[in-house]
Amino acid sequence: MSKTEEILDSPLDDNSPLENFPIDDKKIINGWAMFDWANSAYALVITAAIFPAYFNGVTNTYDPDTGELISKNIQFLGMTLKNSTLFSYCVSFGYLMIASALPLLTGVADYTGRKMYFMKRFTLLGSLSCMALYFFTGTSTLMIGVIGFILALIGFAGGQVFYNSYLPLIASEKNVDSVSAKGFSMGYIGSVLLLAANLAVILNEEALGFSPGFGSQLAFVSVGIWWIGFAQIPFNRLPKDRPRPVTSGVLKKGYLEIQKVWGELKHMPNTKRFLTSYFFYISGVMTVMMLATIFAEDELKMDTGKLIATVLIIQLIGIVGAYFFAKLSGWLGNKFSILIMLFIWIGICVAAYFVTKETQFFVLAGVVGLVMGGIQSLSRSTYSKLIPEDTPDTASFFSFFDVLEKTGIVLGTFIFGFLGEMYGMRISVLFLILYFVIGIGILSTVKIERPVVNE
**CB atoms near residue 235 (< 10 Å):** 18
pLDDT band at 412 (very low <50, low <70, confident <90, very high): confident
**% of the chain residues with pLDDT over 70:** 86
Q: Give the mean pLDDT of the chain.
A: 81
- What pLDDT shows up at residue 396? 66
The closest alpha carbon to 56, from 138, 140, 143, 150, belongs to: 138
pLDDT digits (tens, 9 = 90+) for 168-194: 788 887 788 788 878 877 887 888 899
Q: Residue 10 above 60 pLDDT?
A: no
Q: Which amino acid is at 377?
A: S
Question: Rounded to the nearest 5°, which phi and psi values hold at 61?
Answer: -105, 125
69: which strand partners? 62
CB distance 161 to 104 below 8 Å: no
- What pLDDT shows up at residue 257? 63
- What pLDDT shows up at residue 250? 61
Average pLDDT of 326-331? Answer: 81
pLDDT band at 449 (very low <50, low <70, confident <90, very high): low
User: HSE (CB half, 13 Å, CA atoms) of 107?
Assistant: 21
- What pLDDT shows up at residue 245? 66
Average pLDDT of 446-450? Answer: 69
Domain ranges for the chain, please list them: 31-63+77-244+267-443
- What pLDDT shows up at residue 294? 72
Distance (Å, rounded) from C-alpha 202 to C-alpha 208?
9
- What pLDDT shows up at residue 147? 94
Task: Return the higher-pLDDT residue of 190 and 402.
Answer: 190
pLDDT band at 1 (very low <50, low <70, confident <90, very high): very low
- What pLDDT shows up at residue 105? 75
CATH (one of 2.70.160.11, 3.40.50.2000, 3.20.110.20, 1.20.1250.20) for 31-63+77-244+267-443:
1.20.1250.20
- What pLDDT shows up at residue 331? 84
The answer to which of 104-118, 130-144, 362-376 has the lowest mean pLDDT is 104-118
> String of b and e for 50-77 (b: at least 16 CB within 10 Å)?
bbbbbbbbbbbeeeeeeeeeeebebebe
Task: Return the higher-pLDDT residue of 116 and 307.
Answer: 116
pLDDT digits (tens, 9 = 90+) for 266-305: 778 888 888 889 999 998 888 887 777 777 777 777 776 7
pLDDT band at 451 (very low <50, low <70, confident <90, very high): very low
Task: Return the higher-pLDDT residue of 199 and 108.
Answer: 199
- What pLDDT shows up at residue 121? 93
**CB atoms near residue 7 (< 10 Å):** 12
- What pLDDT shows up at residue 391? 62
Q: What share of the chain is helix, strand, coil (3-state, %, to 5)?
A: 75, 5, 20
CB distance 286 to 336 below 8 Å: no
The answer to which of 104-118, 325-339, 388-402, 423-437 has the lowest mean pLDDT is 388-402
Query: What global pTM score does this model have?
Result: 0.72
pLDDT band at 392 (very low <50, low <70, confident <90, very high): low
Average pLDDT of 360-379? Answer: 85
Task: Return the higher-pLDDT residue of 314 and 66.
Answer: 314
